[in-house]
Structure 1
């Protein structure tokens, strides 16, 4: 995940082009839902489930890629702490573990509505690597041979003390004070040929090179890749400019710094946390009451309708969901009904999700947002929006006493 630190921790967006702004100028004020026929909506979301494609981390969800663990049960993760001959660790392993847990476990418990628990097993001792930290050439765009050597050395050194067959996920945490450690190199590494230890194949590991204290939600972001979720940020070709133009603050897979890091409803549908009864496939139109995506129901309570989907093509769909200042989204500065496009054939980092800006002439949270122009993207009460090129209109009437959003979706000419 890229670092975008600037003086004072404030992130300033670049100006968008006039053409980009014009694509969303159809946001209109309204006093309520306009009377009219509602054709069809179904709790059988199958017609709206895009198929999985060969794209890396495809957002298609008609089937699951068995190369990845699916977080619909408890999973066990081992944290291995690596030191180097050229540096004596200053921060003990238990302090580094506390940088990430139990916060990451709580993030996923809330996001999954209690359906998934990530159980961390941090080791209590440092494991010494055979080479100095500077020897491995650690950096974001890492030389494959040096990276391979680092991973083989780490697994080999740790195998003397750790039974890897007991764990579903492996976090390799480097001494943050070692001179060769680059904090921008944190990522998930997938092996073309799995490493083998303790009678089990290790197909991927999370390499953690974070400073102490680390970026917030960084491990939630990287763990999302372990579950076959894509990067939603855009890396500029020249390394300059904004990384967050696709989704802004909306979803931790876009930015670990986001103000509203709750996973999109589409992601939750893919992971198995939303299903029949919570996802509505809109074919023609629908009047819906959408519960906030990040709101965790009381024990025994119903999830209600969380996601509306409109199929727009063989490889594309629109998603509509409500976002409010609760749960993982408690720090958001705007609330409302969020609309975004999904492209199942677009690979990770290429823009598989695009949040639609229903207020293109304004922004929000200029002192805190990773991309203020999209911070006010959701529709608010009394507003309607026609999606460019899709003949789809979304209208927001009001909010219920419980905080849900009343929405009408109309499709067709």
Structure 2
């Protein structure tokens, strides 16, 4: 990792996040080493329904040492991802950098946009309710500089002290038992500009978190400077760092790598959260229980079979085909179109990507297969990874993995916009 390498604004942000997300139990944004009872409210945690036997070959899993595995089901300790969830949202400032303007103006930079984004992405299955029992700036006892927060490091004492001080300052007015996770919106004039580095970080499943009102503040997202990279799109895109950070409290890993968004591009907000709006991968929607098992097809057997895929942005219908390669990895297929949260899709079609549950967060657990390598892409939207923007496969095109004997062909599209794919396995 080259934390000081300047590539483009989003990639600089990604590198910064890789460093600071190692704070939760010395892992990135969370860990597989979670103990029961670390959620912020009783009964919280990812939904782990009993899946039918036909899907079990596709429920890949990582080793216990993997940090924030892409495996299904998600490990315990994260916030619930369905039903009504309450995000305690606090606006924080410091004696040397008092908040400018009203604290509720800072809140309005992220809401209702973040809530609406999750409602759309989850097909209404996640009712995200941000709550602000403290309406003004919550003043910390020390200056921002005194906490010594830069890019972060495992068990960073500055972050530990900041969380402790937030709990002490808020506890007289806040019943922490009432919330599923914590959002901390730091005044934008504290810390460096987002053009220089990004300090935004999430502690997820943090077994060493402070305790308040008898519950552990184990899932917390921090947002620092404005996510404005100078492209002039801040009024539409500045909020999107928070849905990315909240993705960690629900158990999702970072999909960018030290090189930036080159593995997944703009196909998932856990890869790129700057620039035009984008959604989550279908795999993540299944992982979060936003897709029913009936909407997932497991292509585990040998031979040839055809499947129908309806646009991922639309509620209902088959959404995901998974081709397991072994108990750790496999290929996922889904149909992406320009609708819903996917405003940057410039070439609709079937997205093919490899999921590896045995790869740590931030190290490339997902890799999109590019149907047009070195094409330069089809988008010119600011801060969208252009090369992968035309990665989808259209009718008459196919993906072939000769080594593993897997062939995926897009054989047609009907008048409703559904695609038919043919999967062959030797």
2:403 is aligned to: 389
Map 1:143-154 onto structure 2 (within 5 A): 144-154=156-166
CA RMSD of aligned residues (A): 2.5
1:198 is aligned to: 213
State yes or no: 1:78 paired with 2:101.
Answer: no
Matching residue within 251, 270, 278 for 2:295 = 278
Matching residue within 101, 107, 114 for 2:111 = 101
For the residues of structure 1 that align with 2:307 and 2:358, how far apart are their CA atoms? 29
Q: Which has the higher strand share?
A: 1
SS in 2 for 1:74: strand
For the residues of structure 1 that align with 2:187 and 2:379, how far apart are their CA atoms? 34
What per-residue deviation string (whole Å, max 9, x for no partner) do you get for residues 140-180 of structure 1?
Answer: 23581112111111111111221111110101111111357
1:356 is aligned to: 369
Greater relative contact order (Cα < 8 A, sep 6+)? 1
1:131 is aligned to: 142
For the residues of structure 1 that align with 2:128 and 2:239, how far apart are their CA atoms? 17
State yes or no: 1:228 paired with 2:275.
Answer: no
Matching residue within 175, 187, 193 for 1:175 = 187
Larger Rg: 1
**Contact 1:259–1:333 (CA under 8 A) maintained in structure 2:** no
Cα offset, 1:279, TM superposition: 0.2
What per-residue deviation string (whole Å, max 9, x for no partner) do you get for residues 373-400 of structure 1?
Answer: 2111110122122135222111112222
Cα offset, 1:187, TM superposition: 0.8
What per-residue deviation string (whole Å, max 9, x for no partner) do you get for residues 246-296 of structure 1?
Answer: 10111001110265621111111111111321000112332112011122x
SS in 2 for 1:135: helix
Change (3 A) 1:44 1:4: farther
For the residues of structure 2 that align with 1:217 and 1:387, how far apart are their CA atoms? 35
Cα offset, 1:53, TM superposition: 3.2
Larger deviation, residues 320-329 vs 274-283: 274-283
What per-residue deviation string (whole Å, max 9, x for no partner) do you get for residues 221-262 of structure 1?
Answer: 101100110000001xxxxxx401110111001110265621
What per-residue deviation string (whole Å, max 9, x for no partner) do you get for residues 284-330 of structure 1?
Answer: 332112011122x3xxxxx1110001110121111011100010112
Change (3 A) 1:99 1:116: same
Map 1:202-351 onto structure 2 (within 5 A): 202-211=217-226, 215-235=238-258, 242-257=259-274, 259=276, 261-282=278-299, 283-284=301-302, 285-295=304-314, 297=315, 303-351=316-364
What per-residue deviation string (whole Å, max 9, x for no partner) do you get for residues 314-358 of structure 1?
Answer: 211110111000101123212110001111111101111010111
TM-score normalised by length of structure 1 = 0.83
Larger deviation, residues 99-108 vs 50-59: 50-59
SS in 2 for 1:329: coil
For the residues of structure 2 that align with 1:355 and 1:385, how far apart are their CA atoms? 12
Change (3 A) 1:389 1:92: farther
- How many corresponding residue pairs? 367
TM-score normalised by length of structure 2 = 0.80
